[in-house]
Structure 1
Amino acid sequence: MSPSASTGPAGVPRKPRAAGVAARVRHALAWRTRLPRALKAALAATLAWLVVQPLGGPADQYAYYAPLGAVIAVSVTVADSASAAAQGVAAILLGAALAVLAVELVPGTLAGLAAVVLLGTVLAGWWRLGDMGSWVPIAAPFVLTVGSSGLVDYLVGYVVLTGLGTLVGVAVSAVLPPMPLVPGDREIAVARSRLAGQLDALADGLRSEPPLGPREWSERHHDVRPQTRAIDRLVIRAAQARRGNWRARRRDGWADRQVEHARALARLSFVVDDLAAMLTSMEQRERGSTALGPRLRRPAAAALEAAAAMLRDGAEAGGAPSPSSVERACDAVEELARLVGESIRDLDDEAFTAAGVVTGLRRLVAST
């Protein structure tokens, strides 16, 4: 053992303090994805500036366009970075072409400016340009106004140097690819907590005396569709993050688990939304008699609360809930199912809606 190393109890070596600090820094950076991306953009811009310095000619006057191209290319994933670079260059070329046409065909700078902004804004919606389409109406006025005194040199500087900068940005993204898995885990945990909150709200409504009316129930029905769309984007992003990413090979297991949890969560979202729609529409005092009836309301609330606790446990565990929380949820649902069976034998009308609640909760537990 080296003299600088230290030992803990029973002679177990302690990790060097510097290694512990580095691990904490890496963890903090992983949770704050904006900062690593900003650092990477700053590095790409700096390298692009240094690359064009020896070129001379228009590069001396318009060197600042190389860092611009580098920043355009630094994106969330390696595959997205290359795609954004190509789309960005295409958008800039299109904007420059509009400016050249305006110089030749439209009399007067003011009329030409209006024309290129109008056409550039329309062309920005072209689907092939993707998110980079907004550069068309930006590039066109630049070329038209700034480059009016030396159009050829300006075009070379603007288009060529920006393209060169995008190549530098793509290279930086390939060497330092992001792997946005920790933020994905956080999104999954937040989504589970929100679904648990919806189940708790439904349980609270069932425990209310007297039974709630339509307006009170509508306040307890949360819209989970935005959460479902966010989960779908998470699955897509996790898959895209692997393309062209050398770091993905070391984290395949983590990425696979994240996709699995995200897909399970998407199924849970639909089940929870169905339960909320059923209870908020059927369990109302204005119907004369509530759909579940006094015999089943509290057992149904207990089952919903147990399912919510199971989802919240999974959020805290960072994925699947503990076996004990799943078992408690199963027991509560099966107790409700037993009472529903007795109500069916007694031909109670409320048993039929309760049976739908049991089916939904069983699907929820199975989808966890």
Structure 2
Amino acid sequence: MRALLDAHVILAAKAALAAGIAWALALLIPGVAAEYPYYAPLGALLAMYPTVVGTVKLGLQTMTGLAIGIVLAYAAMWVGDPGSFTISFVVGMGVLLAGLLPRTAGGGSGIASAGLFVLILGNNDLSFSFGYFVQMIVGVLVGLGVSTLIAPPLNTDNALGQMSALRRTAAEQLQDIGQALEENWVAGDPRWVERREDLFHTMQGAREAVQYAEESRKGNVRRRFHPRDLAKDYEHVGALETVAFHTLNITNMLEDAVEGTTDEEPIPPGLKRPLQDAFSAVGDVLELWTVEEDDDQTLVGARQALRVLELSAFEAATRERPFGAASSIAMSLHRILHAVTPPSKYGSP
């Protein structure tokens, strides 16, 4: 939240600066364009976007939309003076063309707005169209310059924070599952739903943060001073998504198993402690794991806990009653360890 707030404050400051510069430059432009300086700050505002590549894309779309809107306005003027029909034509065609040309024309409101300005305010006055177009372009170019040269954001820190949050959330979920077994949470308990939703939203936030970090580096002059292997970050978040998927799978199985279902008896008493120990041990691995390093002793302890769980499940099937979900839970825990363990160490004793 703090990172998002800081980024928004920076964007607001850059937008204010761009609008001020655009206004100052607009007053220096000679000819008929000098009569419409107020459109330059508007162009700067329309072009501002948090990332450099986003600003370039938005700026190009704004300029294309302006050109299309002006053409639509003059096409409507051939029919007659501004009225219900011509206004409806410009707005309708603007939205339609924006839908057909989303990558080049920007939003439908931009095309329609440009057309309406020229149609209603210009009213066959070519000087207005020219001045409006020139000043808007000045503003867009100023917005591009400010976005590119002044504190262009890099979102790598936020991406790392989101990935760490996902790792911690998954680890806490496994610890909570052990608590659920001890307290016998019933199926439908709101805590099951809360944990699933929390994990899902954290997983989604991590993926979006890495994608935004990649976008923020494109065309960014600061990337030279902050090198980063984004391919490795994608591998990292992919591993964490695997962890989250299997954690959700375990949560769903245990919610049904605490009280039992029509197809299966509740968890045998002799399996609760091995399950809790396995969840705790794998959660400890997640707590300590980073991209660069892992804790060998904790990893060994987790593998031992899984072996105990598998042996206990076999004994429960012969002495008490079978619990089919035990093998699926153990497999999911193995998958979690495999996702966060270097290949050279996963199979080692």
Task: Give the shorter-chain TM-score range.
Answer: 0.7 to 0.9
Provide the TM-score with structure 1 as the length reference: 0.77
Describe the shift of the 1:178–1:356 C-alpha distance in structure 2 as closer, same or farther (beyond 3 A): same
Counterpart position of 1:39: 13
Hey, what does 1:118 align to over in structure 2? Answer: 92
- Indicate the larger mover: 81-90 or 303-312: 303-312
Residue 58 in structure 1 maps to residue 29 in structure 2: no
CA contact (8 A) 1:282 1:291 kept: yes
Measured at CA, do residues 299 and 248 of structure 1 come closer, stay the same or move farther in structure 2, by a change above 3 Å? same
Which structure 2 residues correspond to residues 268-347 of structure 1 after superposition, within 5 A?
A: 268-287=243-262, 289-290=264-265, 292-308=267-283, 310-311=285-286, 319-320=290-291, 323=294, 327-328=297-298, 331-332=301-302, 334-344=304-314, 347=317
**d(CA) in 2 for partners of 1:295 and 1:350?**
11
Say what the alpha-carbon RMSD is for the aligned residues.
3.2
Tell me how far 1:293 sits from its aligned partner: 2.1
CA shift for structure 1 position 306: 4.2
CA distance in 2, matches of 1:106, 1:187: 57
Q: 1:235 to 1:220 in 2, by over 3 A?
A: closer
Bigger Cα displacement from structure 2, 328-337 vs 112-121: 328-337
Query: What amino acid maps onto 2:60 in structure 1?
Result: A
> Cα offset for 1:360?
1.3
CA-CA distance at 1:106 after TM superposition: 5.5
What's the TM-score, normalizing by structure 2?
Answer: 0.80
2:329 is aligned with 1:357: yes
Residues 75 and 204 of structure 1: CA distance in aligned 2, closer, same or farther (over 3 Å): same
Q: Which residue of 2 aligns with 1:230?
A: 205
Which letter does structure 1 place at the counterpart of 2:217?
R
Determine the C-alpha separation between the residues in 1 that align with 2:166 and 2:298.
Answer: 21
Aligned 8 A contact 1:313 1:321 in 2: no
Match of 1:239 in 2: 214
2:335 counterpart letter in structure 1: R
Q: 2:189, 2:80 → 1: CA distance?
A: 60
Whole-angstrom CA distance in 2 between matches of 1:306 and 1:147: 72
Which letter does structure 2 place at the counterpart of 1:361?
Answer: L
CA shift for structure 1 position 33? 0.7
CA distance in 1, matches of 2:309, 2:172: 25
2:43–2:136: 8 Å Cα contact kept in structure 1?
yes
The range that moved more, 250-259 or 81-90, is 250-259
Equivalent pairs counted in the alignment come to 334
Structure 2 Cα separation of the partners of residues 222 and 346 of structure 1:
29
Matched residue type, 1:189 = S
Q: Aligned in 2, Cα 1:284/1:29: closer, same or farther, shift over 3 Å?
A: closer
* Structure 1 gaps, min length 5: 1-27
Please list, as runs of the form range in 1=range in 2, the aligned pairs for 1:214-229 lying within 5 A after superposition: 214=188, 219=193, 222-223=196-197, 224-229=199-204
- The CA deviation at 1:260 is 4.5
Give the equivalent residue in structure 2 for 1:73: 47
Provide the C-alpha distance between the structure 2 equivalents of 1:204 and 1:106, rounded to a whole number of angstroms.
75
Within 2, Cα distance between the matches of 1:199 and 1:205? 10
C-alpha change, 1:343 and 1:301, in structure 2 (3 Å) is closer
Structure 2: tracts of 5 or more residues without a match: 341-349
Could you tell me how far 1:130 is from its partner in structure 2? 7.3
Q: Distance in 2 between matches of 1:50 and 1:153?
A: 21
Deviations 1:62-89 (A, max 9, x none): 1122222222323232222211111111
Name the stretch that deviates more: 327-336 or 243-252. 327-336
| AA matched with 1:265 | L
Identity %: 25
Q: Give the Cα–Cα distance (whole angstroms) in 1 for the partners of residues 106 and 331 of structure 2.
A: 43
Residue 36 of structure 1 deviates from its aligned partner by 1.3
* Residue 76 of structure 2 is aligned to residue 92 of structure 1: no
Are 2:264 and 2:323, in contact at CA under 8 Å, matched by a contact in 1?
no
Distance in 2 between the 1:195 and 1:103 partners? 62
Cα deviations across residues 205-261 of structure 1 (Å, max 9, x unaligned)? 32233x623566853551344443333322322222222222112211375664443
Secondary structure (helix, strand or coil) at the match of 1:140 reads helix
DSSP-derived class of the 1:124 partner:
helix
**2:217 corresponds to 1:267:** no
Shift of residue 309 of structure 1? 5.0
SS in 2 for 1:33: helix
Separation (CA, whole Å) in 2 of partners of 1:252 and 1:259: 15
1:87-236 matches, cutoff 5 A: 87-105=61-79, 108-126=82-100, 127-129=102-104, 132-148=107-123, 151-176=125-150, 177-209=152-184, 212-214=186-188, 219=193, 222-223=196-197, 224-236=199-211
CA distance in 2, matches of 1:131, 1:187: 30
1:315-364 superposed Cα distances (whole Å, 9 cap, x missing partner): xxxx559745x744652453243232243256456454212212212222
